[in-house]
Homo-oligomer: A and B are copies of this chain.
């Protein structure tokens, strides 16, 4: 297989984009990424999206976006893996370049959620769970996560306040991120007093849905120098793993086995371990997912994910910085776009283009995108090269 580099990145601000349609968001991100790469064409386009059918009455996004961005005619499909759709689309683009099927690929994650009512959005998000055995009983997606968080607090004796560190870190990092949805800092006290959503998950445990799109351009590393600008960034690993769809079917609901499998497949492909990773863009859809992801990815012991946050180790100056540009919590979580935002942010850090939030000497970055409450997990490890 061929070595693959990311030669261009682009993104929109995550926001309530009332004045723009899904195609405009995807188009802005794709054209920005192509301009960044210095290319005017591509062989194939992979679109990550979860909810356009239900929320905007539009499927068939591969052809739609290809047409809109001036790539009419090229190979184009949509890829869906719930909230993991963005990185799942990237995985397909990676496979096309690595496998020799395409030489120049665009991947875009896009979601347009503001146009729908909150009840439609709630119905949409729970499509990530098991319709026949979970949502049929009235369980919402935040409800599933609340059950996990309650169980975690009970099982490990961790108080709710222990999760504050994730939110404080994400908001602190978003202050300097121009495309983030919420650029104001949040204190542990504000976290404690936030309104309840689904006990014990409160508003500040929860990421913010929104509208947005992020895109990357991929090419074989052997020719990457002909394109793009800035430091080279190549993909050392790309992996997907799955788990039981319904949480009640998992032997241990507090262990995200697909996170473990996906992360360790990625470590193996890259020939590295958790200690080598300089930053970790994890899937903080809810604060409980941050703790569970750190544990199953090998960064924290079981039941001790919140310790890293409390000790400041997830901050920009910590041992394993997470959500360096704000994460899902504060950059925002346009569901099917999130996985590509995470990778764009890793590329920014590895290029040395992360502005005020730049990590010194970042060489290896990991991005992990989760579909549903852990049923699909996609991990990419990227490396900077000169």
Contact = CB atoms under 8 A, between A and B. Distances in A.
Total identical chains: 2
Given A57-B127, A60-B81, A73-B243, 19 more contacts: A1-B100, A1-B101, A58-B132, A60-B372, A62-B81, A63-B82, A63-B245, A63-B371, A63-B372, A63-B375, A64-B245, A68-B245, A72-B244, A73-B258, A75-B241, A77-B80, A79-B80, A92-B92, A99-B101
A359 B342 CA distance: 52
A276 to B, nearest CB: 24
A135 B64 CA distance: 14
Q: Which residue, A44, A50, A95, has most C-beta atoms of chain B within 10 A? A: A95
A62 B50 CA distance: 13
Interface string A67-101: 11000111111111110000010011001101111
Contacts of A135: 57
A77 B262 CA distance: 14
B82 A60 contact: yes
A50 B75 CA distance: 18
B242 A75 contact: yes
A1 B101 CA distance: 8
A249 interface: yes
29 contacts: A53-B127, A54-B54, A56-B131, A60-B81, A60-B82, A60-B127, A60-B375, A63-B82, A63-B242, A63-B375, A64-B375, A66-B242, A67-B243, A67-B244, A67-B249, A72-B242, A72-B244, A73-B261, A77-B80, A77-B81, A77-B91, A77-B240, A77-B376, A78-B80, A79-B80, A92-B92, A96-B99, A98-B99, A99-B101
A23 interface: yes
A239 B76 CA distance: 11
A135 B59 CA distance: 12
Contact of A242 (B59, B67, B242): B67
Interface in A1-27: 1, 21, 23
B53 A242 contact: no
Among all A-B residue pairs, the 6 with the closest Cβ atoms: A99-B99, A63-B375, A58-B131, A59-B127, A60-B82, A75-B240
Contacts of A129: 60
Given A1-B100, A67-B375, A132 B23 contact: yes
